[in-house]
A = this chain, B = another copy of it.
Amino acid sequence: MKVTVLSGGVGGARFTRGLLALLRDRLPDGVGGTTASVTVVANTGDDMWLHGVRVCPDLDTLMYTLGGAVHEEQGWGRRDESRRVSDDLQAYGLGWEWFTLGDLDLATHLARTELLRRGLPLSEVTARLASRWGLGVRLLPATDSEVETHVLVDGGSIHFEEWWVRHRAALPARGFEQVGLVGSVAAPGVVEALQDADVVVLPPSNPVVSVGTILAIPGVGEALRATTAPVVGVSPVIGGAPVRGMADACLTAIGVETDAAAVARHYGRRVDGGVLDAWLVDTADRAAADALRDDGWTVRAVPTLMTDVATTAQIAADALTLVDRLP
């Protein structure tokens, strides 16, 4: 069974970890893995050059989470992290005080940068870095091109990470732009992973700047709309608020209500030219589920808080069940 996940950072990484636990339980291959094949297509719109090294926040969060190295409470970054380099960098008056650059995390950035400078595309670099961790999934960047999300704010535009981390998404945003989008192409394997999938999952990632950015890469949205596999999404909004992060600010910026039903309608049903076949919401959003169902959506309300791996595995099971793909 082939599963393809379009993921941002923490939410998508945690969901994928639960999905893997489910698949290992139901389709074990006897050596701790799974006979299912999971491809994770990661958002690269948050990527940036920082002090000359290439930082890929979502790829890193996925790698650390699935590789068992993540700072669990924080959700991103490495556990047992330190900041010797960044503290000293600030003594030069150069560090970004608002951006954590951990020593262990920096090793990943340096390794990535060296391989990029050797001329390898990001997808190959990612495969090489991931091989250290034994992720149990194939991890693909959405694109090998440098397509960075910038946020339109008063007076100009700033890199997404500056808006998100420095300003905590509190600076009013009037929209987003993917700098470098024109001429970019999906990374090798991305379109195929959508075409050949048995099921595609949109995990509870940011629908605007994570999943939305992946879908904006030329060819990706089209492949998702065209795949024969069912596409099921899990709402990142519970009870009118994002579970984590500040997705509400992103939704507001593009005129979408922070509501489980509004996010579904933003994605749209594939029969209507959108990208979803089914939508899983939290039990707190039964009203949203009912409204969507009245409009013909395949929708279900279940507990969707990813409190631990077992609970998340059940959410993944509910999502696959909704499109009849539970193995």
Contacts and interface: CB of A to CB of B under 8 A. Distances in A.
Given A52-B113, A113-B52, A107 B82 contact: no
Contacts of A87: 107
Interface string A37-62: 00000000000011111100000000
Interface in A83-122: 84-89, 91-94, 103-104, 106-108, 110-111, 113-117
A107 B132 contact: no
A185 interface: no
Contacts of A132: 91-93
A108 to B, nearest CB: 7
A129 interface: yes
Contact of A92 (B92, B103, B129): B129
Nearest to A94: B111
A114 B55 CA distance: 13
Please classify how large the interface on chain A is, using the bins under 10, 10 to 19, 20 to 34, 35 or more.
Answer: 20 to 34
A103 B104 CA distance: 10
Contacts of A53: 51-53, 110, 113
Contacts of A108: 88, 92
A84 B103 contact: yes
Contacts of A111: 51, 89, 92, 94
A91 B134 CA distance: 13
A59 to B, nearest CB: 14
Contacts of A129: 92
Nearest to A107: B88
B92 A104 contact: no
Given A52-B52, A89-B107, A92-B108, 18 more contacts: A49-B117, A50-B114, A51-B53, A51-B110, A52-B53, A52-B54, A52-B114, A53-B53, A84-B84, A85-B85, A85-B103, A85-B110, A87-B107, A89-B110, A92-B107, A92-B111, A92-B132, A94-B115
